[in-house]
Amino acid sequence: MLDSSSEYILEIPLPADVDERLRHWTERTPGATWPSWGGHITLLDSFAPRGDMEPVVSRIETVCTTHVPFEICFDSVVCDAYWVEPDLRTVLLVSSSRYQEGYRALVRLHRSLRGELADVTRDVRPEVSDRPYVPHLSLTAGLPAPEAVKVMEAAQAAQLKVEFVVRSISLLEFVEGTEGEKDAQQVRSFGFTAP
């Protein structure tokens, strides 16, 4: 049951084999981290419904009827400012080409969802959504620059690359984790159904 008082996230979950491969890499790499609920590409971060969840779900379904599966490739490692604390750095796996069709399809999907949900949801973390949308996989949380550079160099040496076909998106609800931290649980998956 979807709770209208909860906080949600829309994401593209990684295929199980890709998630497992990157989870193992992060476990072996000092400073690297991986989400407890699995690797993913965030589409919309931390939002809450303005009322009932039914209009939110209905609009997500509508957006998914206008999209077809697409292939995405993340093959470049970058070190960037950490949005929570700009003095820290984060390491991201991103696409080396913003002109690749899959990258453009992902950005269109993000824009469609953001536009459709704007009047039925509220941003819980506008400091995130106000930033330009850059599709990525996070390999670290915030780290001091020297540590982040080491993780970036390890990822480059490992030639990390993720390539898969996106066929659906997931709605997750944030819940209280075992150690008082936020965790997320999938509550619904939406497949692309455009002709």
Residue found by looking up tokens 């993913």 in the block: 40
Per the domain annotation, does 157 fall within a domain? no
pLDDT of residue 171: 96
Per the domain annotation, does 158 fall within a domain? no
Per the domain annotation, does 102 fall within a domain? yes
Average pLDDT rounded to a whole number, residues 14-21: 97
Confidence of residue 185 (pLDDT cuts 50, 70, 90): confident
Is 141's pLDDT higher than 80? Answer: yes
Cα separation, 70 vs 46, whole angstroms: 24
Per the domain annotation, does 152 fall within a domain? no
pLDDT of residue 30: 96
Q: Going by C-beta distance under 8 Å and a sequence separation of 6 or more, which residues neighbour residue 116?
A: 59, 60, 62, 63
Per the domain annotation, does 78 fall within a domain? no
How much of the chain exceeds pLDDT 90, in percent?
75
The 8-class DSSP code of residue 124 comes to: S
Q: Which long-range contacts (CB under 8 A, 24 or more apart) does 22-25 make?
A: 22/137, 22/139, 22/160, 22/162, 25/155, 25/158, 25/160
pLDDT of residue 44: 94
Per the domain annotation, does 174 fall within a domain? yes
Q: How many domains would you assign to the chain?
A: 1
189 phi-psi bin (left φ>0, alpha ψ -120 to 50, beta other):
beta
Domain containing residue 69: CATH number: 3.90.1140.10
Per the domain annotation, does 16 fall within a domain? yes
Which of 14-23, 36-45, 77-86 is least confident? 77-86
The answer to whether 155 and 27 have CB atoms below 8 angstroms apart is no
Average pLDDT rounded to a whole number, residues 31-41: 94
At 107, list the tokens: 């950005």
pLDDT in tens, 65-116: 999 999 999 999 999 988 888 899 999 999 999 889 999 999 999 999 999 9
What is the reported pTM?
0.90
The answer to whether 185 and 175 have CB atoms below 8 angstroms apart is yes
Chain mean pLDDT for the chain: 92
Confidence of residue 52 (pLDDT cuts 50, 70, 90): very high
Q: Roughly how many angstroms between the first and final C-alpha of the chain, as a whole number?
A: 30
Range of the domain at 171: 8-73+98-137+163-191
Cα separation, 150 vs 127, whole angstroms: 27
**Cβ count within 10 A of residue 151:** 23
The 8-class DSSP code of residue 98 comes to: T
